[in-house]
């Protein structure tokens, strides 16, 4: 497990397996050696930080959605932890008696896919349900993927959700907490498999 350092006085310190102290607060924890640059937000434009692995910017449909996108991007590199993440930030993962346990998610502080999305929207004052299936079912607007806007939610079955960023560098991109053993990352949108082919919009009025 990585060593974390305090980056805010408004912090809560707790202990995980092995006695490692981890700081959780209302912003990203940072591995020893420093934090990656946070996204720069100017109005509705969010510049991707270096940790995104791709240069460019995202133009959100509103300043509120820009906050959502920036909040998700702040956590790039944070471990995936099944069951992890709430409105305040990353949390300890939980046991699933399967793949997540094999990766030690119950001893990691991080996000699962829906936890990251829930947190990002909470930072903009929007309360979402906890699971990806509920997030789709309770969306204010659902449109075909070809009408997706930055900040919309994309789904694979009812088991995975990601936050759409738009087209960056000629590729549809998203930010996601992918799966056990990985970290929060910016990825190309995967349209195969059980991709639902829709974009769910938690905020009505943003281009709907």
Known catalytic residues are: 113, 160, 176
Question: Are 94 and 106 within 8 A, CB to CB?
Answer: yes
What 3-state class would DSSP assign to 208? coil
Residues 6+ apart with CB under 8 A from 136: 142, 153, 155, 158, 161, 196, 198, 200
Residue 207 neighbours by CB distance under 10 Å: 18
**How far is the first Cα of the chain from the last one, in angstroms, to the nearest whole number?**
43
Tokens of 181: 């053993």
Q: Could you give the CA distance from residue 112 to residue 84 in angstroms, rounded to a whole number?
A: 5
Element at 92 (helix H, strand E): strand 91-92
Tokens of 200: 């769910």
> Closest by alpha carbon to 176, among 199, 160, 191, 195?
160
CA atoms lying within 13 Å on the CB side of residue 93:
30
């Amino acid at each position: 497990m990585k060593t974390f350092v305090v980056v805010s006085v408004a912090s809560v310190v707790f202990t995980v397996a092995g006695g490692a102290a981890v700081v959780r607060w209302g912003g990203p924890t940072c591995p020893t050696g420093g934090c990656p640059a946070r996204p720069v937000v100017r109005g509705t434009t969010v510049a991707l930080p270096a940790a995104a692995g791709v240069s460019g910017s995202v133009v959100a449909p509103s300043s509120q959605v820009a906050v959502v996108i920036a909040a998700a991007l702040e956590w790039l590199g944070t471990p995936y932890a099944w069951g992890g993440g709430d409105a305040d930030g990353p949390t300890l993962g939980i046991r699933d008696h399967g793949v997540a346990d094999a990766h030690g998610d119950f001893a990691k502080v991080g996000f699962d896919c829906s936890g990251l999305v829930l947190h990002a929207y909470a930072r903009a004052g929007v309360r979402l349900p906890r699971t990806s299936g509920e997030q789709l079912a309770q969306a204010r607007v659902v449109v075909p993927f070809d009408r997706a806007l930055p900040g919309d939610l994309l789904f694979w079955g009812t088991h995975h959700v990601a936050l759409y960023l738009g087209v960056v560098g000629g590729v549809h991109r998203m930010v996601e907490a992918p799966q056990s053993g990985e970290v929060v990352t910016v990825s190309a949108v995967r349209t195969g498999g059980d991709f639902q082919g829709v974009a769910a919009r938690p905020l009505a009025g943003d281009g709907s």
